[in-house]
Structure 1
């Protein structure tokens, strides 16, 4: 490995929290309301990424995805085939993301219930 590859392998964190998630159940226009968990893997190793979704009134739901080496993915919460589980609409929840290698996570929400509102933030890295 060269110095840059070694440096990139250490960038990011293995555990991330997104405490304020919400999948709007309605939309206006052509673009559906949705969220995206964007995972960036700059390392030379494929990341095995586990997502656990926590709710106030029910047990957590867990799923696993892979992020190839030196790639990013956008996991849309409204597309069960993409994340491996169906998330309920109009129910607040939180997400814990854990990875086999350090990654960077960004969370975005497009709320298209009354027009379009976009919110994006970095997830919270957990040391």
Structure 2
């Protein structure tokens, strides 16, 4: 019996990058993707907004048997990126099964806060 490690489709419904940070650390969010397979994972991230069209299918490659932390503020397609101070959500789609975690560093006050959670997987 072979155990499938991960899923091909993940959702992250709550995203928000603050406009202001305090101290030395900058507020940011990351998609943490683990690829346990022996082949590269080709990821497409679609970013959804409350009041505008999505940024669709931003490509990211996760090498075989590696992990990658992708800052959501670095996701860019055709010169468009996630603006600070705007709520958003993400769909993370992979051509092979991967594991997706979501992390947020809130440095808007002197007492920094770090939050992390697993993204919501869907079976395909």
Q: Is TM more than 0.5 here?
A: yes
Verify: 1:102 aligned to 2:94, yes or no: no
Aligned alpha-carbon RMSD (Å): 1.3
- The structural deviation recorded for 1:114 is 1.1
Q: What is the aligned counterpart of 2:116 among 114, 117, 120?
A: 120
Partners of 1:91 and 1:109 lie apart in 2 by: 14
Q: What is the aligned counterpart of 2:62 among 50, 64, 67?
A: 67
Partners of 2:65 and 2:6 lie apart in 1 by: 13
Instruction: Please state which structure has a larger fraction of its residues in helix.
Output: 1
- The structural deviation recorded for 1:84 is 3.0
Unmatched 5+ stretches in structure 2:
none
Number of residue-to-residue matches in the alignment: 118
Q: How does 1:1-127 map to 2 (within 5 A)?
A: 7=3, 10-62=4-56, 63-78=58-73, 80=74, 83-85=75-77, 86-115=81-110, 116-127=112-123
Partners of 1:95 and 1:24 lie apart in 2 by: 17
Unmatched 5+ stretches in structure 1:
none
Output the TM-score relative to the length of structure 2: 0.90
Partners of 2:101 and 2:83 lie apart in 1 by: 21
- The structural deviation recorded for 1:77 is 1.8
